[in-house]
């Protein structure tokens, strides 16, 4: 009789689902997670749960204490400031690299995502707001064709996800971010300096508010 080997797809499925939850702010800052709880939630055994958590700890999406406690990141003001500075360096550069490939269909797609983002604001849906906000940025940056830079940026987004959701819930915005409209206008005009400025302002404004 053959012994059953662990299902590699179970680990990958859990990893991707949990990674998305952290990045989109579905989990609160400092929220504790257990392997048993994750296994039960996603219908997998302890082995895939352990492997997924190990990968997410390595990416900075989760923290592991010396006592073995697994949790989402709780960021100090200094850490938020540092991550905001990384976003301010990487994201304008990715946007500028995407600009030559920003055809009309892409700009229309970004405008549609921005409309969905505005609907989340109107509903005060903080998780939807974070998710559509990141989708707006990622859709643009994929056109930069700079995978190493985008991978670095995603580790920053992962660390910030729970904090971004907490920030949005606190600010209780009732209108969508104006800088997205400025990004779209700069893309339509092919104006790189305006695009860099709009992206830099958009990605740092809320974080600086949180760090202060």
Q: How confident is the model at residue 105 (pLDDT cuts 50, 70, 90)?
A: very high
Return d(Cα 67, Cα 163) in angstroms, integer: 23
Answer whether residue 185 shows pLDDT above 50: yes
Report pLDDT for 212: 62
Report pLDDT for 5: 46
Highest mean pLDDT among 160-164, 167-171, 173-177, 179-183: 179-183
CA atoms within 13 A on the CB side of 89: 10
- Which tops the pLDDT comparison, 169 or 78? 78
Q: Which residues contact 126 (CB under 8 A, 6 or more apart)?
A: 25, 165, 168, 169
Q: Which residues contact 103 (CB under 8 A, 6 or more apart)?
A: none
- Which tops the pLDDT comparison, 141 or 45? 141
Report pLDDT for 167: 77
Which residues lie across from 70 on neighbouring strands?
33, 64
């Amino acid at each position: 009789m053959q012994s059953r080997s662990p299902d590699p797809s179970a680990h990958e499925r859990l990893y991707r689902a949990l990674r998305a939850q952290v990045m989109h702010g579905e989990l609160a800052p400092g929220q504790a997670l257990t392997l048993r709880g994750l296994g039960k939630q996603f219908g997998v055994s302890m082995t895939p749960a352990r492997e997924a958590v190990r990968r997410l700890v390595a990416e900075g999406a989760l923290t592991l204490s010396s006592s073995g406690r697994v949790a989402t990141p709780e960021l100090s003001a200094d850490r938020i400031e540092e991550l905001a500075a990384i976003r301010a360096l990487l994201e304008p550069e990715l946007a500028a690299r995407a600009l030559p490939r920003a055809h009309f269909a892409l700009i229309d797609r970004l405008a549609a995502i921005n409309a969905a983002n505005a609907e989340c604001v109107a509903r005060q849906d903080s998780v939807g707001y974070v998710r559509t906000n990141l989708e707006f940025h990622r859709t643009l940056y994929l056109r930069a064709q700079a995978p190493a830079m985008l991978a670095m940026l995603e580790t920053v987004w992962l660390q910030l996800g729970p904090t971004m959701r907490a920030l949005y819930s606190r600010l209780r915005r009732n209108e969508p971010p104006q800088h997205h409209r400025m990004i779209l206008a700069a893309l339509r005009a092919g104006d790189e300096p305006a695009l860099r400025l709009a992206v830099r302002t958009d990605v740092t404004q809320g974080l600086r508010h949180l760090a202060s």
